[in-house]
Chains A and B, each alone.
Chain A
Amino acid sequence: MQAAIKKRNLVTAALVAPAAAWLTVFLVLPFIAMLVFAFGERAPEGGYQAAFTFAQFANLPTRAAAFWNTLVLAPVGALLCLLVAYPVAYYLAVRANPRYRLILVSLVVVPFWTSLLVRTYAWMYILGSRGIPNLLAMIGIEDVRMLNTPGAVLLGIVYGYLPLMIMPIYVSLEKLDRRLLEASADLGARPVSTFFGVTLPLSLPGVMTGVALVTILLLGEYLIPQLLGGGKVFFIGNALVDLFLQSRNWPFGSAIAVTLVAVVVVVLMVAMRIAWKVAGTRQVDLV
């Protein structure tokens, strides 16, 4: 018996060992290293020099613009996404012909798994000087600048993250018990009050999941502001790339990255607290 238990434990350990090693070496250790760097100093030739100082964190206000842009545009982008996503999710879950539902849902998910770089490039192409502004110039409206504006970045955000917002809302609406809607109608509620009294509250977990997911991913966004904001509208991610790959101020970059992770954790905790309050948590099918 003892031997059997020992053997079972050995098998379990062998099964999880590679993943445990990978998580330790490429997740836990890098985080510790980043934390150590964040309290260090920049070496004169760039990179890292050992020290223990809070100077890097004290320096954070010099990148206030990046934090400001990110902390404003990420939630605003997520909410815009929500405004577009909710009707689509509602249609797919409640109204769509079941025969075509699968295809319609697939058509929403597929873009999420195709290159964000290419999809963002598409808008760079459309909003760029040879795209819409060029067409506008042909009909006499000259000098319209669309690229490198906050609007372009928000457009890119909605475009890039719409699928990720639609899916969790769709899942929560799909699970909704139709009999509740019928009961509400039988009791004389108009469709509008059924929606606000029954459907919307029951889909809130999906809405929360979607908003939290998209906001968190946006906090670390780099490509969209880089390509559509063109250095004028920049996020924390852009500041990080600049600090690590251009000015090679690794300790300061690490301090910003650590702060970014802290922001993500706070957003996640707030979202989870609200989700618990709203209803039980639900599984989200991302694929």
Chain B
Amino acid sequence: MRAFISSVYLFLYAPIALVVLFSFNAGRSASEFTGFSTAWYGKALGNTFLVSALQNSLMIAFTSAALAAVFGTMAALGMERLGTRTRAIFDALFAAAIVVPGVVIGIATLVALVAVFSFVNPALATLWPGDQPPQLGLGYGSIIAAHGLFSMALVTMIVKARIASLGRDIVEASSDLYATPLTTFRLIVLPQILPSILAGFLLAFTFSFDDFIIAFFVAGSKTTLPIYVFASIRRGVTPEINAIATLVLVASLLLILTARLLMREKKSKSGE
């Protein structure tokens, strides 16, 4: 039993470790370590395409996760107050946003946006007073919208679970003591759900930062980091990709560990 468990952990981590190890390889080989070097990192970070893809990814991940954190939390708070039937509709839609494969979300968003643009752009062109009417197209906005959908469902799910575990009694005590609903929210509810909101934000950020398939459909001419990495892999496996992969790993590791710490704190506080 022990041996099996150890080998599963080895199975989970050895491939990642190998990628990291060979990112420091002086040579190009994937099986022969010819000397320690950070040259591939220098090469990766000197690559302007890569750096701009990274910047795009960070901007998209931050924006979509921030929007999802705010709107998702609002939805989680609002859904508590809805009637059973309306709440069921929301539950079903959020579940769909999570369960429907990313490839389908990407396609559906692409198809819908292109259809909308084909109506809006000519209309804009005739209505626009100047010579160069703005053209709506795929890009940052469409990626943020599509990522925001999944992320919002994720945040809502996490924050809702936290609200459900909150004691009703302190909220009631607060209002019995003549606190306005807003004061109760600010002083009682918000501090308790804040760690889950932050955790939701970080998970949403990680999701968006790592997502390839949705962005692949709706990115238009823009490039995100996973799209760049995917394209580079298709051109051939090199230690430079290992270096980039290592940087991506470190970034998502930091995010997920912070998120888990925040969730952990929530659990120990509520005594679960």
Contacts and interface: CB of A to CB of B under 8 A. Distances in A.
Nearest to A163: B12
A115 B75 contact: no
B5 A122 contact: no
Interface centre among A25, A102, A245 (most CB of B within 10 A): A25
A47 B217 CA distance: 14
A119 interface: yes
B94 A126 contact: no
B245 interface: yes
A91 interface: yes
B5 A223 contact: no
B257 A16 contact: no
B241 A87 contact: no
Most chain B C-beta atoms within 10 Å of own C-beta, residue among A19, A22, A121, A261:
A19
A131 B19 CA distance: 11
B86 to A, nearest CB: 8
A146 interface: no
24 contacts: A8-B81, A15-B77, A22-B148, A23-B94, A30-B113, A33-B115, A34-B111, A111-B16, A113-B203, A114-B248, A118-B16, A121-B237, A121-B245, A126-B15, A126-B30, A128-B30, A162-B8, A222-B103, A236-B103, A237-B103, A240-B104, A244-B107, A250-B111, A261-B100
B1 interface: yes
Contacts of A241: 103, 216
B22 to A, nearest CB: 7
Contacts of B36: none
B229 A16 contact: no
Interface stretch (A54-62, A176-184, A252-260): A252-260
Contacts of A27: 93, 96-97, 108, 149
A131 B146 CA distance: 37
Interface in A208-224: 216-217, 219-223
Interface string B69-94: 01110110111011000000010011
A113 B30 CA distance: 25
Given A109-B260, A287-B260, A257 B104 contact: yes
B176 to A, nearest CB: 17
Interface string A31-51: 111100100000000011000
Q: How large, as a class, is the contact surface on chain B?
A: 35 or more
Contact of B90 (A16, A220, A221): A16
A189 interface: no
A106 B107 contact: no
Given A14-B78, A117-B212, A260-B104, 4 more contacts: A19-B74, A22-B148, A113-B255, A264-B101
Interface in B217-252: 217, 226, 229-230, 233, 237, 241-242, 245, 248-249, 252
Contacts of A123: 15
B16 A240 contact: no
A127 to B, nearest CB: 10
Contacts of A64: none
Contact of B213 (A8, A216, A223): A223
Contacts of A163: 12
Contacts of B109: 26, 30
B252 A30 contact: no
A15 B103 contact: no
B99 A15 contact: no
Contact of A159 (B11, B100, B210, B264): B11
Nearest to A130: B30
Interface in A235-287: 236-237, 240-241, 244-245, 250, 253-254, 257, 260-261, 264, 268, 283, 287
Q: Top 10 nearest A-B pairs by Cβ distance? A: A220-B101, A15-B78, A30-B108, A19-B75, A122-B15, A16-B78, A30-B112, A33-B112, A130-B30, A113-B256
B161 interface: yes
A30 B111 contact: yes
Chain B contact residues, majority secondary structure: helix
Contacts of B248: 114-115, 118
Nearest to B93: A23
A109 B52 CA distance: 30
Is the contact region of chain A dominated by helix, strand, or loop, or is it mixed? helix
Contacts of A250: 111
Contacts of B8: 84, 87-88, 162
Nearest to B232: A121
Contacts of B12: 107-108, 111, 159, 162-163
Interface string B12-30: 1101101100100000011
Contacts of B256: 109-110, 113-114
Interface string A122-159: 11111010111011000000000000000000000001
A110 B149 contact: no
A95 interface: yes
B110 interface: yes
Contacts of B18: 122, 125-126
A266 to B, nearest CB: 13
Contacts of B260: 106, 109-110, 287
A28 interface: yes
